[in-house]
Protein backbone atom coordinates (compact mmCIF):
# COMPACT_ATOMS: atom_id res chain seq x y z
CA UNK A 1 0.00 0.00 0.00
CA UNK A 2 1.22 3.51 -0.71
CA UNK A 3 1.86 5.54 2.39
CA UNK A 4 0.55 9.06 2.26
CA UNK A 5 3.95 10.36 3.38
CA UNK A 6 5.69 9.11 0.21
CA UNK A 7 3.60 11.25 -2.16
CA UNK A 8 1.20 14.07 -1.48
CA UNK A 9 -2.20 12.72 -2.53
CA UNK A 10 -4.82 15.32 -3.44
CA UNK A 11 -8.35 15.75 -2.32
CA UNK A 12 -10.99 14.83 -4.88
CA UNK A 13 -10.92 18.27 -6.51
CA UNK A 14 -7.16 18.74 -7.02
CA UNK A 15 -5.00 17.26 -9.76
CA UNK A 16 -1.43 16.13 -9.35
CA UNK A 17 1.52 17.23 -11.40
CA UNK A 18 2.57 13.60 -11.43
CA UNK A 19 2.93 11.11 -14.22
CA UNK A 20 3.24 7.39 -14.31
CA UNK A 21 5.31 5.63 -16.91
CA UNK A 22 4.01 2.16 -17.69
CA UNK A 23 6.96 -0.02 -18.64
CA UNK A 24 4.97 -3.18 -19.31
CA UNK A 25 1.23 -3.26 -19.87
CA UNK A 26 -0.82 -3.41 -16.66
CA UNK A 27 -4.50 -3.59 -15.81
CA UNK A 28 -6.52 -0.62 -14.61
CA UNK A 29 -10.12 -0.36 -13.44
CA UNK A 30 -12.84 1.12 -15.62
CA UNK A 31 -14.63 2.61 -12.61
CA UNK A 32 -13.68 4.59 -9.52
CA UNK A 33 -15.95 2.40 -7.37
CA UNK A 34 -16.49 -1.31 -6.90
CA UNK A 35 -19.54 -2.51 -8.72
CA UNK A 36 -21.24 -5.44 -10.31
CA UNK A 37 -22.02 -3.88 -13.69
CA UNK A 38 -19.96 -3.92 -16.85
CA UNK A 39 -18.23 -0.66 -15.87
CA UNK A 40 -16.58 -2.37 -12.90
CA UNK A 41 -14.22 -4.46 -15.03
CA UNK A 42 -10.62 -4.04 -16.05
CA UNK A 43 -9.00 -2.47 -19.07
CA UNK A 44 -5.41 -2.76 -20.30
CA UNK A 45 -3.10 0.18 -19.75
CA UNK A 46 -0.42 -0.15 -22.43
CA UNK A 47 3.19 1.02 -22.11
CA UNK A 48 3.49 4.81 -22.16
CA UNK A 49 3.30 7.92 -19.97
CA UNK A 50 0.08 9.05 -18.34
CA UNK A 51 -0.98 12.03 -16.26
CA UNK A 52 -2.49 11.31 -12.87
CA UNK A 53 -5.68 13.04 -11.78
CA UNK A 54 -7.42 12.99 -8.41
CA UNK A 55 -7.70 10.24 -5.84
CA UNK A 56 -11.25 8.89 -5.64
CA UNK A 57 -12.21 6.00 -3.35
CA UNK A 58 -8.56 4.91 -2.92
CA UNK A 59 -8.06 4.88 -6.69
CA UNK A 60 -6.09 7.36 -8.77
CA UNK A 61 -7.45 8.67 -12.02
CA UNK A 62 -5.20 7.77 -14.94
CA UNK A 63 -5.82 10.29 -17.70
CA UNK A 64 -5.40 8.88 -21.19
CA UNK A 65 -5.30 11.39 -24.03
CA UNK A 66 -8.26 10.90 -26.32
CA UNK A 67 -9.57 7.96 -24.29
CA UNK A 68 -11.76 7.36 -21.27
CA UNK A 69 -10.20 7.93 -17.85
CA UNK A 70 -9.33 4.72 -15.99
CA UNK A 71 -8.54 4.15 -12.31
CA UNK A 72 -5.60 2.58 -10.52
CA UNK A 73 -6.17 1.24 -7.00
CA UNK A 74 -3.46 2.62 -4.70
CA UNK A 75 -2.39 -0.84 -3.53
CA UNK A 76 -1.98 -2.00 -7.16
CA UNK A 77 -0.04 1.15 -8.02
CA UNK A 78 2.42 0.33 -5.26
CA UNK A 79 2.69 -3.32 -6.35
CA UNK A 80 3.35 -2.28 -9.95
CA UNK A 81 5.98 0.24 -8.79
CA UNK A 82 7.80 -2.33 -6.63
CA UNK A 83 7.77 -4.92 -9.42
CA UNK A 84 9.19 -2.38 -11.91
CA UNK A 85 6.15 -2.45 -14.17
CA UNK A 86 5.60 1.29 -13.69
CA UNK A 87 7.63 4.33 -12.61
CA UNK A 88 6.18 7.35 -10.82
CA UNK A 89 7.65 10.77 -11.62
CA UNK A 90 6.90 14.05 -9.88
* pLDDT tens profile 4-60: 444 444 434 344 568 999 998 999 999 888 765 555 689 999 999 999 999 998 999
pTM over 0.85: no
Q: In the predicted model, what is the mean pLDDT of residues 63-86? A: 93
Q: How many alpha carbons lie under 13 Å from residue 34 in its C-beta half-sphere?
A: 2
- The CA distance from 60 to 11, in Å, is 11
Residue pLDDT, tens place only, 81-90: 999 999 988 7
Within a 10 A sphere around the Cβ of 48, how many other Cβ atoms?
A: 12
Note the pLDDT of residue 61.
94
Amino acid sequence: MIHRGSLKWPTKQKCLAVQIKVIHGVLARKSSVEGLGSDSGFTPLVAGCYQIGAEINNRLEVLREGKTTVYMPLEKLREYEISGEIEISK
